[in-house]
Amino acid sequence: MKPAKIEKAHLYLVTSLLRGSKIAISREAKGKKAKEPYTHLADRLSSHRLMDDPELEAIRQRRMQEMIAQQGIRNHQNEGQQNAQEDAKREAEERRQLMLSQILSVQARERLARIALVKPDKARGVEDVILRAAQTGQITEKVSEERLISILEQINTQTTKQTKITIQRRRSVLEDDD
């Protein structure tokens, strides 16, 4: 074996034993010479490890505590940011619902709530249109159910998509164009 390979093997054994893993040292196939230097090294390192085990364990524990503390600080900061974002979203949604309750009549709100159960994205779009119209001054009185229906019809005509299906047949490589 080359000296560089032996050094790598020794280094692997040392690091593995320091990490606390158990290494099975095997003999080479077909009765060749056993890896004696490795077994002696493993025995020496394992006996040395037993003597230094409390020190290593203390170092491991300190490092583990440091890592846990760092992770705890990060989690705490992330929780604070998430809570602030959730609060901002909740407040914005409350303002939105308050404005809608001032703009829509009771029947229109009920209809919009039923639409939201079936198609939440469509209901959200209708709410956006109504709020935008109210902010620009296009809506001056409460929106009735009939007016909501007409707004829905307008939105449906604008967003109706026609589905177009095209079938493309692929020619086989073996077919000729004769």
- Structure tokens that stand for 24 in this block: 């099975």
Neighbouring C-beta atoms of residue 112, cutoff 10 Å: 21
Lowest mean pLDDT across 9-18, 81-90, 127-136? 9-18
Residue 93, exposed/middle/buried by CB under 10 A (0-12, 13-18, 19+)?
A: exposed
Dist CA 35 CA 13 (whole Å): 13
CATH number for domain 104-152, candidates 1.10.10.10, 1.10.8.140, 1.20.120.1200, 3.40.50.720: 1.10.8.140
pTM flag (> 0.85):
no
- Which tens digits make up the pLDDT trace of 72-129? 777 777 777 888 889 899 999 999 999 999 999 999 999 999 999 999 999 999 999 9
The domain locations on the chain are 1-15+34-89, 104-152
Place of tokens 């039923």: 114
